Amino acid sequence: MVRMVYPLIVLAGLTAAGCQTGAPLFNGRNLAGWTEIGSTDAWTAEPGKILKCNGKMNKYAWLSTDRRYSDFVLDLEWRVSEKANSGVFLRVPDREGRSSIKGFEVQIRDDAVDEDLTDASGSVFRRVPATAKYARPTGQWNHFRITVRDRHVRVELNGHVTVDTDFDSVQPREKDPPMSAVSNQGYIGLQNHGTPVEYRNLRLRELE
């Protein structure tokens, strides 16, 4: 009996430790490892190791990692003000055009202004509705854990699962390309939607 239980305990411990020790995506001091798209000096490193966007933009705007990623667990915290909107872009194949559709976007916003669950925080924007609204009131920090493995995405917002689906099972909306067209590798991005937003504790653990 001991021989059966002991390995399970060890594996569980390793999994938890792996999530906690993922590599930082933001060093807390500057934008090293990131490239600003569609704006100039909209993103800054602030005290408390906060990555802040002031909402100024020239065109479709976002902050892109300099590396492309395939399978990973991404942990981050975010905070918005009233009527604000942002999002986390994933599997973005290039830096041209609408990244939320060429890849996909996990939505971030002030949920008080919209009843549509396909536009709620934790949804896959325009593609997969959130199971419910779990974002905290504006001005408070929220936590995302986003797991992307092969053709599957799972989103947890403040400990609640909001999305758990395979790309290829998602039906396209209107003239959007199907989610099955999303690449197996791409940039990670933070959206500048024209309103202020803050991020912190961005950590990524790549999966084999």
Question: Tell me: the pLDDT tens digits for 13-47?
Answer: 333 333 445 999 999 999 999 999 999 999 999 99
Which pLDDT score, from 0 to 100, does residue 21 have? 55
**Tens digit of each residue's pLDDT (9 = 90 or more) over 83-99:** 999 999 999 999 999 99
Q: How far apart are CA 30 and CA 21, in angstroms?
A: 21
Which pLDDT score, from 0 to 100, does residue 174 have? 80
A 10 A CB-CB count for 177 gives: 10
Which pLDDT score, from 0 to 100, does residue 173 have? 84
Strand 85-92 to 72-80 pairing: unpaired
pTM to 2 decimals? 0.89
Which pLDDT score, from 0 to 100, does residue 40 have? 97
Q: How far apart are CA 179 and CA 104, in angstroms?
A: 8
Which pLDDT score, from 0 to 100, does residue 23 have? 96
Domains and CATH numbers, the chain: 2-206 (2.60.120.560)
14 sits in which H/E element: helix 2-20
Instruction: Specify whether the CB–CB gap between 153 and 147 falls below 8 A.
Output: yes
**Tens digit of each residue's pLDDT (9 = 90 or more) over 45-63:** 999 999 999 999 999 999 9
Which pLDDT score, from 0 to 100, does residue 170 have? 96
Which pLDDT score, from 0 to 100, does residue 193 have? 98
Q: What are phi and psi of 104, to 5 degrees?
A: -150, 160
**Tens digit of each residue's pLDDT (9 = 90 or more) over 121-155:** 999 999 999 999 999 999 999 999 999 999 999 99
